[in-house]
């Protein structure tokens, strides 16, 4: 009797052929990358890869080559340091503001050919942070590229919406203009996942996106009006990164075909499509991230620990039509996906060592068979399994180390 469909049966065969009998993370290549590349070409926008969601240098490099981009969005100073070391021609935008002490640490740990002045944009969310960065730039004799975080409706900080935002942006631009030897304006970052993630009660995605991009456009026009010299400098991009009007993320990138405000889209998790990204906007993407792990024990009927009638009764009720099995590892941010009907037990308690799962009684699972789970997200899960196994057309084609802190 088959326990997996054709896709997972082939994956199991490929992994067993490689002698893989410990928990492994699988990335299935190409389909989602090609979807994203085709979309970006249609929309006339560049793609920026979200490094925290794809935290393996080889994985990032593979995707970047296939997608024809050198743009990365970084979120963690140790990873930023690794990016700059491994990828001297990268164009890097920070996806969140870094404490100024970590900015200093980045410059201290910098080695190799990466040139921050030409290739790196720091994200600034407030006048206070700009002052801190200016102080550092003056002290270390650096020139820092400043990309300004916009609140386009997410309310996670940055230049706020409305009049308060207009005033803050004026102040930020003035300060940058006063210190050309230490600061350069290189663009905006306006992230808008709320457009897709909010309940429909709050508005249709198209309407929320139109509002977000109207805010974005007003900020662009404000720079053009109030600081034309800074705008011209950003456009000329002489010795500094090209003007970067960044927006989007996996949930929303496909909504940006028509708008003319942004010039690049950030994208990470959607290329792997963990379960949190099972969204209508990503219907064209396929699940491409799996945990494979062997069955260590088939335990037959589900039996809760403890003696007496009550555990026995609850076990019988909860385990009706099911068999219990113990897997190698567990307790991941993941949901079982194959064999069909495989589920975590809400009663037994979970374990990172040997988690119990329940399978339909008729599933002919044996010790050393593999079961598959789908992670709910990529960023934390990808770092938990050692090398990622890259798979193409059902074959293992690479073993790619994941980032460790630099």
Ligand X SMILES: Cc1ncc(COP(=O)(O)O)c(C=O)c1O
Which residues are at the interface with ligand X (CB under 6 A)?
Answer: 50, 53, 73, 95, 189, 191, 249-250, 266-270
250/293 with CB nearer ligand X: 250
Q: Can you list the positions of beta strands (E) in 68-209?
A: 71-74, 91-94, 120-124, 144-149, 183-190
Shortest distance in whole angstroms from residue 271 CB to ligand X: 8
* Residue among 95 and 336 whose Cβ is closer to ligand X: 95
Q: Which is nearer to ligand X, 241 or 268 (CB)?
A: 268
Place of tokens 């270390």: 140
The CB-of-221 to ligand X minimum distance in angstroms stands at: 22
How many separate helices (H) and strands (E) can be counted in the chain? 12, 17
Measured from the CB atom, the residue of 235 and 380 that comes closer to ligand X is 380
Question: What interhelical angle do 127-140 and 100-109 show, nearest 10?
Answer: 30
CB of 248 vs ligand X, minimal distance in Å: 7
Distance CA 341, CA 344 (A): 10
* Least Å from the CB of residue 379 to ligand X: 7
Pairs from 8-15 (Cβ < 8 Å, separation ≥ 24): 8/337, 8/338, 8/339, 8/372, 10/394, 11/290, 11/292, 11/370, 11/372, 11/391, 11/394, 12/292, 12/369, 12/370, 13/394, 14/391, 14/394, 14/395, 14/396, 15/292, 15/370, 15/389, 15/396
- For the chain, the 3-state helix, strand and coil shares in percent, each to the nearest 5, are 40, 25, 35
- Smallest gap, in angstroms, from Cβ of residue 64 to ligand X? 15
Quote the least distance from Cβ 384 to ligand X, whole Å: 17
Nearest-angstrom CA–CA distance, 84 and 91: 9
Q: Are 37 and 67 in contact (CB under 8 A)?
A: yes
Strands, E assignment, 169-283 = 183-190, 244-247, 264-267
Q: How far is the CB of 191 from ligand X (least distance, A)?
A: 4
In terms of CB distance, is 287 or 311 closer to ligand X? 287
What is the Cα–Cα distance from 5 to 394, expressed in whole angstroms?
13
- Our CB check for ligand X shows the closer of 268 and 339 to be 268
**Shortest Cβ 276–ligand X spacing (Å):** 9
Nearer to ligand X, 119 or 269 (CB): 269
Q: How far apart are CA 12 and CA 292, in angstroms?
A: 8
- Residue among 40 and 266 whose Cβ is closer to ligand X: 266
Beta carbon nearer to ligand X, 255 or 356: 255
Q: Closest separation between CB of residue 208 and ligand X, Å?
A: 16
Helix axes 228-236, 162-178, angle to 10 degrees: 70
Can you tell me the distance from the alpha carbon of 185 to that of 172, in angstroms, rounded to the nearest whole number? 10
Q: Any residues with CB less than 8 A from the CB of 154 and at least 6 apart, and which? A: 191, 192, 193, 194
C-beta of 273: minimal distance to ligand X in Å? 10
User: Comparing C-alpha atoms, which of 73, 398, 111 is closest to residue 268?
Assistant: 73
Nearer to ligand X, 11 or 67 (CB): 67
């Amino acid at each position: 009797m088959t326990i997996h469909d054709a896709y997972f049966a082939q994956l199991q065969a490929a992994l067993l052929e490689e002698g893989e009998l410990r928990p492994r993370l699988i990335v299935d290549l190409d389909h989602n990358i090609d979807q994203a590349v085709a979309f970006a070409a249609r929309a006339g926008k560049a793609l920026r890869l979200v490094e925290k969601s794809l935290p393996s240098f080889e994985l990032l490099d593979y995707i970047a080559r296939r997608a024809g981009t050198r743009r990365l969005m970084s979120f963690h100073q140790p990873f930023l340091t690794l990016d700059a070391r491994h990828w001297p021609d990268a164009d890097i935008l920070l996806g969140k503001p870094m404490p100024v002490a970590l900015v200093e640490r980045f410059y201290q740990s910098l080695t190799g050919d990466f040139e921050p002045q030409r290739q790196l944009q720091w994200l600034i969310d407030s006048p206070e942070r700009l002052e801190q960065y200016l102080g550092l730039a003056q002290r270390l004799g650096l020139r820092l590229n400043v990309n300004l975080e916009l609140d386009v409706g997410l309310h996670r900080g940055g230049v706020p919406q409305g009049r308060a935002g207009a005033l803050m942006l004026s102040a930020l631009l003035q300060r940058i203009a006063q210190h050309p030897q230490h600061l350069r304006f290189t663009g905006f970052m306006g992230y808008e996942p709320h457009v897709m993630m909010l309940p429909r009660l709050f508005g249709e995605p198209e309407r929320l996106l139109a509002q977000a991009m109207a805010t974005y456009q007003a900020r662009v026009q404000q720079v053009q009006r109030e600081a034309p010299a800074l705008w011209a400098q950003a456009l000329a991009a002489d010795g500094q990164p090209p003007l970067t009007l960044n927006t989007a993320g996996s949930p929303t990138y496909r909504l940006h075909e028509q708008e003319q405000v942004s010039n690049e889209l950030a994208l990470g998790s959607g290329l792997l499509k963990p379960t949190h990204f099972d969204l209508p906007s990503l219907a064209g993407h396929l699940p491409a991230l799996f945990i494979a792990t062997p069955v260590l024990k088939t335990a037959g009927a589900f039996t809760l620990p403890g003696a007496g009638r009550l555990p026995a009764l609850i076990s019988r009720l909860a385990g009706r039509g099911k068999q219990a099995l113990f897997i190698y590892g567990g307790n991941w941010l993941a949901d079982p996906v194959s064999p069909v009907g495989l589920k975590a037990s809400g009663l037994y308690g979970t374990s990172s060592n040997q988690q119990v799962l329940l399978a339909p009684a008729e599933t002919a699972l044996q010790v050393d068979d593999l079961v598959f789970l789908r992670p709910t997200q990529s960023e934390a899960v990808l770092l938990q399994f050692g090398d990622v196994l890259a798979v193409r057309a059902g074959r293992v084609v690479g073993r790619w180390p994941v980032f460790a802190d630099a």
